[in-house]
A and B are shown apart, each in its own frame.
Chain A
Amino acid sequence: MALFRRLTNLFRQPAIDRDIADELQSHIDLRIESNLAAGMSPEEARRDALLRFGNPTSTKERVAAFDASLALAGFWRDIRYAARQLRKSPGFTLTVIATLAIGIGVNVAIFSSMDAVVLRPLAVPAMDHVMVLAEQQQRGKEPFTLADFTDLHRQNHSFEDLAVLQGANYTLSGAGDAAQISADLVSASFFSALRTQAFLGRVFDESECQPGRDAVAVLNYGFWRRHFGANSRIIGQKIQLDQHEYTIIGVLPRTMQYPPAVDMLLPFAPTAAQLADRSDHAYLVLGRVRDGVTLKSAQSEMQLISERLAKAYPATNQGWTVHVEPLLNDINGDLTPLYYKLIMGATMFVLLVVCANVANLQLARGVARRSEIAMRTALGATRRRIIRQLLTENILLALVGAGLGVAFAAIYLHLTLVLMPARVARYIPGWDNISLNGRALSFSVLLAVLSGIIAGLAPSVEALRIRLVDQLRAGSRQTTGRSRLRSIFAVAQISLAVALVIGAALMAKGMSSMFHQADIYSPEKVLTLHPDLPVKRYDTPEKQADWYASALERLRAIPGASRVELATALPYTDSGWQLDLTIENRPTTPGKLQTAVRLAVTPGFFDAFHIPILDGRNFTQGDSTHSVPVAIVSRRFADLYFSGANPIGHRIRLGDSKSHDPWLTIVGVSQEANYSLWESDLPPAVYTSFAQQPLAGSTITMFSNGDPLNLAAPARKALASIDAGVPLDPVQTYRNLIRDNLVGLMYAASMLALDAFIALLLSAIGIFAVMANLVGERTREIGVRLAMGASKEDVLRMIIRRASWLTGTGLVIGLALAFALARLVANLLRGVRPDDPLTFAVVTVIIVGVALAASWFPARQASRVDPMQALRSE
């Protein structure tokens, strides 16, 4: 009952306030009445009644407190009071709100994109239940064979749904340009494992996953938008995939961009032969574990099943186990969460700097508010009440800041979404989901309240120390405690800024060195094309070789193209696959891996990319599909597998011992070249002749003297004259190709740079505020010094000395922090040393410069103090 009464009281606060006032008044009236009856004069009667009653206002507040509604109504009153106070000092209020808006805005933006990309890239309910499975042997993980999958499906109890995926490429035709699309053949359980439904139309079911009934397609949202212009009437329409007719039956939701970069999903309809195959490791498997099954228990059940399979089928399954991994880990890989943690950490640093700054401003404002607080204390407010008031004020400020911050975050997110190239964004699941959502909003409110409390803490502690008597005694001073607190904040700001700026500088430096690795090739003058021959029409090496030969011939005829070459990979773009390697007449020792990267190139490639042939010969026009297959190996290859002896004349084969690839005779040894952007550790390389063995996934490079993009149109025309159905995209400069690979890193680096810039700016403001305040408080002292004969330079020096002390302390702490951060950055990037002396030195100079500049104005003001005026002002 009592609780109910309290709750209802919450909604009738004004009525209750009146009720209490009436009751107290009636008491006083009754006392006056009896005083009058006892013969007092009216004046006397009233005075006596009030005296006996005590302070009616404070009694009223205490009574109201017991009516429990106080907590909330009092809060509202505090808010109104706070708003009034804040309106009185608009300069302060605006500065604090802007500062908080930046801090909270950056945090919300980063959190939103991290939430979408790292934490929930897919809108899959209970995503931690979804696992990716792979078969594993000594060499590493491989996809499943279908027979193994079927056995696993039958025998396991851990998974409620298990799905198979198989990648495939098709040429889509029937509408507009011929497009090479990538599809995944998936079993119907794929949709139930991910608990996803169609956004439009429907997904396919079990009955459609059979040969002959499988001519249906479910589109990926992004592909539907890109290719079909988000046309909702697409459902039921027919498309041609490799000349076979399919019906579009559905579109997946935007939040289901999985597998990444897959354009559509088709039913997986295995044949009997496929189902019986136990050696073709070609099928990806994912599954949803039952409730209560952990990763560990699923893993141990898989262990049992794979041991059983190994016993039953020793020829194919000996040495194979099953590896289980959460889907989230599989999607994110190693680097993305690391980037985000780095950025998120840096952004939290910025929020701390913001809080320190706001607290500092509050403390400065506290001087003006002391008399107000003393007055309230004198009127009977308790300390608790005053602290609550101060915190309310801070939280109110922070919430307004958060409101602005969210707007800031929205603009920021819009910009990142617009600036990210679509061809890169396709590969990031969850990128399209980035938005300000409920989680981001609650995160921002949480941050606002938190920062309000943190920033309000210092002024509150300060308010606690105000001694009523001291304060009411005119001219009293007690500034040491506060200025120490403020100095601590200034030092903290500087050190955080130092750490961030150094971290950002190292990251930018590392990134730029990676970006410029390929500069010796003048990548801005090289055009790259990526022809993708439809496998169905170019089904023999001869047909493919013919296409490439005529393509090279026609492209070389284009004026302005100084050189046209062909290779499966370019330096610093992407390392090729590491393949198993067999050397003729040399038994492989089990457990010792022999691998090499394979690159198919044209003879001119070595010259074009400055890779000297150290020994033997280059490929020639004479090497063709009709002559002996030859190879050139890298020096590292020779060192590793021939211990430095001359490998020329030996024969090698790529692929394991059962491979049907031809034996390659080594005819030359080349200098090293680095094909990977990330690894500095160069794997042994084997070059084969493109004319002898054309490989899919090749890149045509056209070297130009001017702008290579001028070559794009004639090149497209020339290639279309051979076969208009061969996709060439993306057509872009070599430099852009590298940039695309670095875009994630650039994003991280620019975030860090932004954070660092904000931190630097804020700490400059912080130093400025501290010094300006110091000068303000010591005006009288300075006046005395000047009157006693100190020169302006002495005063200037005194103030600057103080600023240098603050900056110096901040620097020392900041450099230590920066060193820790730098080690983290160095792990992420190539070419970054955590003890890079130049960066550390430059940043130190910058920080010192900024700090001294920020304290110069207050110092100059101090030196201009007029002693007479300063002394008179007391």
Chain B
Amino acid sequence: MAKNDLQGTLDLLVLKTLDQNGNLHGYGIVLHIQSASNDLLRVEEGSLYPALHRMEQSGWISSEWSLTETNRRAKYYKLTPQGRRQLEAAQESFDQLVRGVRAVLRYA
């Protein structure tokens, strides 16, 4: 059964973003999701951080402070091996959900 909840979707988006881009700070993640989805998905910026910290506490991502191109301090996140496994599981679960929803829509 696919896990169908919004929090799970946000997690999936963040994990996928980090998987594709390596190191990113929170702001970068927001920008990436927005542009990669052709402005269809907009993350409420504040709500990203509780999710990031939760995933860090679960050991899916790790963080360190470093400098941006414009020489500002920012906290960068990257995927851990455990996070990669979690990403695969979440992706599989999401695919199932989408297939399921599509099937129902097609039938109707």
Contact = CB atoms under 8 A, between A and B. Distances in A.
Given A54-B44, A54-B47, A27 B53 contact: no
A53 B45 CA distance: 5
Interface residues of A, number: 27
B87 to A, nearest CB: 17
Contacts of B46: 24, 53-56, 59
B72 A30 contact: yes
A624 B6 CA distance: 109
A5 B54 CA distance: 12
Contacts of B45: 27, 31, 52-54
Contacts of A68: 57
Contact of A22 (B50, B58, B59, B73): B73
Contacts of B70: 33
A308 interface: no
B58 A30 contact: no
Interface in B71-100: 72-75
Given A2-B59, A24-B49, A27-B26, A66 B54 contact: yes
A30 B68 contact: yes
Contacts of A24: 46, 49
Nearest to B27: A30
Interface in A54-94: 54-56, 59, 62-63, 65-68
Contact of A23 (B26, B47, B57, B59): B26
B25 interface: yes
Interface in B48-63: 49-50, 53-54, 57-59
Contacts of A31: 27, 45
B14 to A, nearest CB: 14
Contact of B57 (A22, A54, A56, A67): A67
A23 B58 contact: no
Nearest to B28: A30
A801 interface: no
A27 B27 contact: yes
Interface in B35-49: 44-47, 49
Nearest to A9: B57
A27 B27 CA distance: 6
B35 to A, nearest CB: 12
A7 to B, nearest CB: 12
Nearest to A22: B73
Interface in A10-66: 19-20, 22-24, 26-27, 29-31, 33, 52-56, 59, 62-63, 65-66
Contacts of B59: 1-2
B47 A26 contact: no
B53 to A, nearest CB: 4
B72 A62 contact: no
A227 interface: no
Residue among A22, A31, A63 with max Cβ neighbours from chain B (10 Å): A63
Contacts of A20: 49, 53
A62 B25 contact: no
Contacts of A59: 46-47, 49-50
Residue among B27, B47, B58 with max Cβ neighbours from chain A (10 Å): B27
Contacts of B75: 19, 22-23, 26
Contacts of B50: 59, 62-63, 65-66
Contacts of A2: 57-59
B57 A33 contact: no
Residue among B57, B58, B73 with max Cβ neighbours from chain A (10 Å): B57
A778 interface: no
A225 interface: no
B49 A5 contact: no
Contacts of B47: 54, 59
A30 B74 contact: yes
A6 interface: yes
A29 B57 contact: no
A729 B108 CA distance: 106
B73 A26 contact: yes
Contacts of B25: 26-27, 30
Contacts of A54: 44-47
A23 B72 contact: no
B33 to A, nearest CB: 14
A53 B70 CA distance: 21
A103 to B, nearest CB: 42
A611 B45 CA distance: 101
Contacts of A62: 49-50
B52 to A, nearest CB: 8
Contact of A29 (B44, B54, B58, B72): B72
A63 B56 CA distance: 11
A63 B25 CA distance: 16
Contacts of A23: 26, 49, 74-75
A248 B31 CA distance: 91
Contacts of A67: 53, 57
Given A27-B27, A54-B47, A63 B53 contact: yes
Contacts of B44: 52, 54
B49 A33 contact: no
B54 to A, nearest CB: 4
B72 to A, nearest CB: 6
A5 B46 CA distance: 24
Contacts of B26: 23, 27
Contacts of B53: 20, 63, 66-67
Given A31-B45, A59-B46, A26 B72 contact: yes
A5 B73 CA distance: 23
Nearest to B44: A54
A47 to B, nearest CB: 14
Contact of A6 (B27, B49, B57): B57
B71 to A, nearest CB: 11
Nearest to A19: B75
A835 to B, nearest CB: 67
A795 B54 CA distance: 62
Nearest to B26: A27
Contacts of A22: 73, 75
B31 to A, nearest CB: 8
Nearest to B55: A66
Interface in A411-441: none
Contacts of B27: 26-27, 30-31
A5 B62 CA distance: 12
Contacts of A6: 57
B72 A33 contact: yes
A187 B53 CA distance: 70
Contacts of A53: 45-46
Residue among B46, B70, B74, B75 with max Cβ neighbours from chain A (10 Å): B46
Contacts of B49: 20, 23-24, 27, 59, 62-63
Contacts of A52: 44-45
Interface string A712-738: 000000000000000000000000000
Residue among A27, A55, A62 with max Cβ neighbours from chain B (10 Å): A27
Contacts of B57: 2, 5-6, 66-68
A53 B48 CA distance: 10
B49 to A, nearest CB: 5
Contacts of B73: 22, 26
A55 B58 CA distance: 25
A23 B48 CA distance: 12
A67 B53 CA distance: 7
Given A23-B49, A27-B27, A52-B45, 4 more contacts: A24-B46, A31-B45, A54-B47, A67-B53
Top 9 closest pairs, chain A to chain B, by CB:
A54-B46, A30-B27, A66-B53, A59-B46, A66-B54, A62-B50, A23-B75, A26-B74, A53-B45
12 contacts: A6-B57, A24-B49, A26-B27, A27-B45, A27-B49, A30-B25, A33-B70, A52-B45, A53-B46, A65-B50, A66-B50, A66-B54
Interface of A: 1-2, 5-6, 19-20, 22-24, 26-27, 29-31, 33, 52-56, 59, 62-63, 65-68
Interface of B: 25-27, 44-47, 49-50, 53-54, 57-59, 68, 70, 72-75
